[in-house]
Structure 1
Amino acid sequence: MSVPERTARPGVAGLGLAGLVGVGLIAVVGLVVGTGATPEPPPAGLPDPGVFVAWALPIGRFLSHLLATVTVGFLLVAVVLLPSGDRLEGLAVQAVRIASRAAWGWFAAVALFYWANVADLYARPLSDVGLGQLVDFASVFATGRGLLVQAIAALVVALWSHWTFSVRQLAICVPVAVVGVAAVGLTGHSASAGSHMLATTSLVLHLVGVVVWVGGLIALAWVALRRSRRLDDAVARYSTLAAWCFAIVAISGIISAGVNLGSFGGIDSTYGALVIVKALALVGLGAFGVAQRRRLRLQSAGFTRFAVSEAVLMTLTMAVAVVLGRTATPVGEDVLTSPAELLLGRELPPEPTVGRVLVGFYPDGIGLAVVALGTALYITGLVMMRRRHDRWPVGRTISWFFGLAIVGWATFGGLGAYSSVTFSLHMVSHMMLSMIAPIFLVLGAPMTLALRTLPGPRRPGEHSPRSLLRDALHSPVSKFYTNPIVAAVIFLGTLYAVYYSGLFESMMRTHSGHAFMELHFLISGFLFYYVIIGIDPSPKRLSPLARFGVLMLSVPFHAFFSVALMSSSVIIAESYYQALDRPYATDLAQDQYLGGGIAWAMGEVPLLLVIGAIFIQWFRSDAREATRSDRAADRDEDAALAKYNAYLARLEDDSPAPR
């Protein structure tokens, strides 16, 4: 006999969260004192923000991390882990209410942390911080912009989750909250050491992985305390998610620690000691989780005690991470000295040669993340298809991985190493990311593979990950962006918007801007070719002739952009390339002319590839239609043909006799 799901005891979540906050705050204070980072008064005569500001920084950061984790976790439980129909029901409703309250607390904690950062920057108490200084912190400093984005995300989630219980609408809150978490990952230790792109991307992935992993477990512990009869279903789905998160956290943590430590000698520092403590805690959590979930599957008991214990241990680990983020790294800020090194985040590479461009390597975090996650997810889908003895076309698999190989070469390969150094090689990278790689990625049919392998409903009428993806592909937003005109405007219009304004130089001067530009090129190209040659589900399928027409209409706009680039007398991002002071390709005008010529010449390559793909799809569509017609004729013994022949016979009988 199943245990009925409890709906009383509303204070359980509040008491549990208060306990986690208390444990975490004690750990933060203890670690700050233990590492000798307690606030000390400045020398006489220097301004002092005060002890309150000094303690508000680590405490505010910890509270924002913990409350963001709780928000994401309870949203995940409500939308993904607990079975629900179109609208939430039972514990899922209460979970969303808790997520909304946690989001308000998250917003308040971020506001406190933002305020304390401004006070610390200007060395004055909180009461003396003015509105102008608060605004300047976001407009001038990357940390301020990241915190502002996080505060906005927390506010949106708090309001949105308060007013709706629709599964489809709440599913949007989860990525919004994740974006808020990721925003602060664009700042931190990655701004004071080499390999900026790698350190920044690994930190973002680390934060997101921790928040999803820890948040899901905290929310599941709450479900277990409520003795929900749907706990087993939720735990089974969470286990897969936790395994992915653990892998992401472990790999990104190793990369981030390696960048910030610089060498094994950095282990002797306070930062190195905290890294070791955090690493041991994460390894212990992983082993503990695997052992307990195995025990749960065998005995179907003991999850509540395990979940609460692991949630406390994860909270302590989060406290270590907060103090770690405020501890000086062994890699000092004087690693990067020249203007070129400060702009690139690394030493200026030697003069490009064919060999260096073809087989070089540059640790670009965005490219590595896209290729690694794309490879892991696609292989997982293939393995699941194989286990079910389902067939998947080999051509799609080859196309997908060939597209990822092009992405890798254009970002962390030899081409990527020079894409931020010379405009001509940047244009090659741009063409690869926006016009070549997306063709093969689209033909790999990743959405179809996801729809065939994502978890389906566990009971009739449930909104599962598969149904959520299907709804997203046919949503009004998808209909808007997959409109051929909209997709073409995004794909081609941004060429002019980026390069014929100051936007290109601004993005090249910041590592987050460069990362955003790479992602935008790849996504805009994927969207355009998704409409033109996509074989995945789409709100509206264009005929082969219409696809060919959209392609032909877009060709002149790209050609005009290339010609205008070649004939322009204005050097794009001139001050940026002058600051690099590279000893090769010193003629900026000639390098830009070469880049325009490359864009013009390479525009023919995707044209031929897409025409070939459209022709093949057209041929296969006609073949399938002919096969369907033959089968229909076999079923009804050519009824349609007999009807048509009878019609011709009537016409002949009704026609006047010749004179």
Structure 2
Amino acid sequence: MKRVQRVAGPVALVVFALLAIIAALAYGGAASAPALLDPGPVVRWGLPVANLFVNLSAAGMIGALVMACFALGSGKAEYERALDVAAASAAIMTVSSAVTGILTYLDVTGSPIGFDQAFSDGIGQFATQIAIGQVWLAITLIAAVTTVLSFAVRNQTALVFVTAIALCSLVPMALSGHAAGTAGHDQAITSLGLHLAFAAIWVGGLLTLVLIRKALGKDRLVPVLERFSTLAIICFVVVAFSGIINADLRIGTLNNLLTAYGVLVLVKVLALVVLGLFGMVQRRYLIERLKRHASRGPFWWMVAAELAFMGIASGVAAALARTATPVAQTAVSQPTPAEVLTGEPLPAPLTLARYIFGVNVDPLWLIGCCFALFFYFAAVWRLHRRGDKWPVGRTIAWVAGILSLLWVTNGGINVYEKYLFSSHMLAHMLLTMAIPLMLVPGAPVTLALRAIHKRTDGSRGLREWILLAVHSRFSRFITHPIVTAVLFAGSLWVFYYSPLFRWATTDHIGHEWMITHFLITGYLFVLSLIGIDPVPYRLPYPLRLVLLLATMAFHAFFGLSILTADGLFLADWFGAMGRTWGATPMADQQLAGGIAWSIGEIPTLVLAIAVAVQWSRSDDKETKRRDRQADRSGDAELAAYNAMLQRMASGGSAGDATVGGGVDAAEAVSSAAARGDRDGTARDSRAAKEPQR
């Protein structure tokens, strides 16, 4: 490859990003001098540019780590080079985020930069006591930690945790990207977090491909590129979806598209569309040419052009963060109690129709449920194409479970969950008891292991990571029936009688954690009882029923404790909403206790029936297995047993029971006695059918 081709991609990314941000700042007026507290042109122009470098370096860091985890072979030169890219990007992010923090301090205070003690004290106070300063301090520290870990960690399993730490650097950005107390705060931070994360994987993954190209031999480029292409499609969908939600919250109406902010959004959308076309051409045309060992030159020039448009989108995005939005991002001047607490006005009075058909979108679970359905169908279709079968009942169960999860997280329950304890409890019970009853029979792990192709090049795809997780020590511990029961029932008490309940109710991150936690604990408990997917250990069927009944009794006792409580849970939240409709907070809490106490009966009955049915089927399978063994051996055990009885009747003893043919009659007695009348009935039935055969 010519030297100009080697540098064209990274240079195009940076240059076009700088050109785009300068043009967007000038057009949108974000760099214009304010009427008061003008920090100067260096800060006005330098702050968004520094923020741009934070975004680009975060993309390089996260994209390289994701590629190392899912696309590159451990121990190969490509893998080592990718980790070097991650470390270098994290180091750049550390410096750029520190600079951004300092420029943000100058922008907020309007004070000039200095080198005296007063300036140092001001910076220290800003970084440790002011929210926006704490954001940039956290980002800087996370980037610094990731820099060190990217140099030190080479184990692919441990690298997953390094990648998780790197992704955590985006959380403060998402939390500070929308004013608290303004409408759509929860949707905004979720959609912004998704946008930042998947844009970083997309941009950083492509940049990593360019930077490690010398380590990719002729036989390695195509498989790595195909894996990145799959990631890129997912990223494109999520970035487009989250961008639409964010734009809607900030633009509001179609007429606002004609404002400076709206025009910049349209420019970003246009760049995204072009990138989608690049991806289509790359997947349908260029990869096929590379498979035929065509020249790589056109491919790398295409990548450089793609990175140029990524730079345009990144530059415009950084400018949009500083541009005034058509919809004001300030808190309501005279908020109601509900708006003070939740940032949203009270919903309309609760009715059955609103509960069933109401909508309150949670972008994370909406896109997650859509992907869960799509990839499940895609896996079933792959099995079908190669001639394998997948039970229709499992597919129906999975679809029902995902649609139920979609309704709980995006429907009427989510509309009223913040305001009514009973709605919150209903969501909790469905997440932990009802939805897992549908998801577990879908056997997603078994389907994935059958449908996903095995890799043999030292890299780890989804199949390899699933196998590693299933056979890990942590999996053996967390899926043990006793542990799942303790987590299922014990976490109820820990959650509602600790500060976790307040965190999950008042903080959006806590709310997302709550959904994830109760869904997982319920899934593991059901999996240990009736699961199809592989687990290291399962209890015998009688003990499963005992464990189920004991756990449900504990669960019912928890519901009674809430039903009979004298005080109000989170009185300064549920009791301070200012509702003029519905039950009083105390009556609503008693309703929540009744839900927790009674709703477990139906899932418990279903689980008990399912365990009993599996128990019966297990006995039938064992009977058929023994029958097949009897057919193969000519009923040798029964013949030995009958011979022993004849000798005992004629005055012999069981001790003489070794007969010709090498059959141990003592063992035959034990085996035949264990089988008893059940095997005799099965043999009679078989004998009755013998003349027909």
TM-score (norm 1): 0.87
**Secondary structure at 1:204's aligned position in 2?**
helix
Query: Cα distance 1:395–1:95, how it changes in 2: closer, same or farther (>3 A)?
Result: same
| Matches of 2:225 and 2:653, distance apart in 1 | 71
1:163 aligns to 2:152 (yes or no): yes
Match of residue 61, structure 1, among 48, 51, 70: 51
Q: Does the 8 Å contact 1:434/1:522 carry over to 2? A: yes
Shift of 1:344: 3.7
**Secondary structure at 1:326's aligned position in 2?**
coil
Match of residue 322, structure 2, among 301, 320, 326: 326
**Secondary structure at 1:330's aligned position in 2?**
coil
Shift of 1:251: 2.0
Match of residue 75, structure 2, among 65, 88, 106: 88
Shift of 1:654: 4.1
**Larger deviation, residues 362-371 vs 145-154:** 145-154
Shift of 1:644: 7.7
Q: Which residue in the other structure is 2:178 paired with? A: 189
Match of residue 394, structure 2, among 393, 396, 402: 396
Match of residue 199, structure 1, among 184, 188, 210: 188
The C-alpha deviation readout for 1:358-399, integer Å capped at 9, x for no partner, is 232222334423322222222222222222232111111111
Unpaired segments ≥5 residues, structure 2: 114-118, 658-693
Match of residue 355, structure 1, among 331, 350, 353: 353
Query: Cα distance 1:168–1:625, how it changes in 2: closer, same or farther (>3 A)?
Result: farther
Q: Which structure is larger by alpha-carbon Rg, 1 or 2?
A: 2
Query: Cα distance 1:638–1:123, how it changes in 2: closer, same or farther (>3 A)?
Result: farther
Q: Which residue in the other structure is 1:306 paired with? A: 302
Shift of 1:500: 2.1
| Matches of 2:133 and 2:640, distance apart in 1 | 75
Match of residue 344, structure 2, among 337, 343, 346: 346
Query: What amino acid sits opposite 1:261 in the alignment?
Result: I
Query: What amino acid sits opposite 1:539 in the alignment?
Result: P
1:243 aligns to 2:250 (yes or no): no
Query: What amino acid sits opposite 2:383 in the alignment?
Result: M
1:470 aligns to 2:467 (yes or no): yes
The C-alpha deviation readout for 1:234-266, integer Å capped at 9, x for no partner, is 112222222222122222222221222111011
**Secondary structure at 1:420's aligned position in 2?**
coil
Match of residue 558, structure 1, among 547, 555, 560: 555
Match of residue 479, structure 2, among 478, 482, 507: 482
Query: What amino acid sits opposite 1:476 in the alignment?
Result: R
Query: What amino acid sits opposite 1:339 in the alignment?
Result: P
Query: Cα distance 1:405–1:565, how it changes in 2: closer, same or farther (>3 A)?
Result: same
| Matches of 1:154 and 1:526, distance apart in 2 | 35
Q: Which residue in the other structure is 1:77 paired with? A: 67
Unpaired segments ≥5 residues, structure 1: 1-5
Query: What amino acid sits opposite 1:652 in the alignment?
Result: A
Query: Cα distance 1:490–1:503, how it changes in 2: closer, same or farther (>3 A)?
Result: same
1:214 aligns to 2:228 (yes or no): no
The C-alpha deviation readout for 1:270-321, integer Å capped at 9, x for no partner, is 1101110000000011112212332214432422111122122212211111
| Matches of 1:454 and 1:118, distance apart in 2 | 50
| Matches of 2:107 and 2:389, distance apart in 1 | 60
**Secondary structure at 1:576's aligned position in 2?**
helix
**Aligned pairs (5 A) from 1:259-658:** 259-300=249-290, 301=295, 302-333=298-329, 336=332, 337-459=335-457, 462-585=459-582, 587-634=584-631, 652-654=654-656
| Matches of 1:539 and 1:219, distance apart in 2 | 38
The size of the alignment, in residue pairs, is: 637
Query: Cα distance 1:497–1:327, how it changes in 2: closer, same or farther (>3 A)?
Result: farther
**Secondary structure at 2:432's aligned position in 1?**
helix
| Matches of 2:6 and 2:610, distance apart in 1 | 55
Q: Does the 8 Å contact 1:189/1:325 carry over to 2? A: no
**Larger deviation, residues 621-630 vs 423-432:** 621-630
| Matches of 1:556 and 1:121, distance apart in 2 | 57
**Larger deviation, residues 20-29 vs 294-303:** 20-29
Query: What amino acid sits opposite 2:597 in the alignment?
Result: W
Query: Cα distance 1:309–1:458, how it changes in 2: closer, same or farther (>3 A)?
Result: farther
Query: What amino acid sits opposite 2:463 in the alignment?
Result: R
| Matches of 2:63 and 2:93, distance apart in 1 | 13
Shift of 1:231: 0.2
Shift of 1:18: 6.5
Query: What amino acid sits opposite 1:581 in the alignment?
Result: G
**Secondary structure at 1:32's aligned position in 2?**
helix
Q: Does the 8 Å contact 1:213/1:245 carry over to 2? A: yes
Query: Cα distance 1:575–1:354, how it changes in 2: closer, same or farther (>3 A)?
Result: same
**Secondary structure at 1:579's aligned position in 2?**
coil
Q: Does the 8 Å contact 1:192/1:332 carry over to 2? A: no
Q: Does the 8 Å contact 2:30/2:324 carry over to 1? A: no
| Matches of 2:61 and 2:236, distance apart in 1 | 19
**Larger deviation, residues 531-540 vs 561-570:** 531-540
Query: Cα distance 1:109–1:556, how it changes in 2: closer, same or farther (>3 A)?
Result: farther
Shift of 1:188: 1.2
Query: What amino acid sits opposite 2:357 in the alignment?
Result: V
The C-alpha deviation readout for 1:499-553, integer Å capped at 9, x for no partner, is 2234323432333333332233222322332333322122333333343333233
TM-score (norm 2): 0.83
Query: Cα distance 1:227–1:631, how it changes in 2: closer, same or farther (>3 A)?
Result: same
Query: Cα distance 1:611–1:28, how it changes in 2: closer, same or farther (>3 A)?
Result: same
| Matches of 1:388 and 1:642, distance apart in 2 | 47
**Larger deviation, residues 182-191 vs 310-319:** 182-191
Q: Which residue in the other structure is 1:3 paired with? A: none
Q: Which residue in the other structure is 2:668 paired with? A: none
Query: Cα distance 1:167–1:21, how it changes in 2: closer, same or farther (>3 A)?
Result: same
Query: What amino acid sits opposite 1:214 in the alignment?
Result: V
Q: Does the 8 Å contact 1:451/1:466 carry over to 2? A: yes
| Matches of 2:273 and 2:362, distance apart in 1 | 27
| Matches of 1:552 and 1:59, distance apart in 2 | 61
Shift of 1:335: 7.5
**Larger deviation, residues 483-492 vs 94-103:** 483-492
Q: What is the percentage of aligned positions where both structures have the same residue?
A: 37
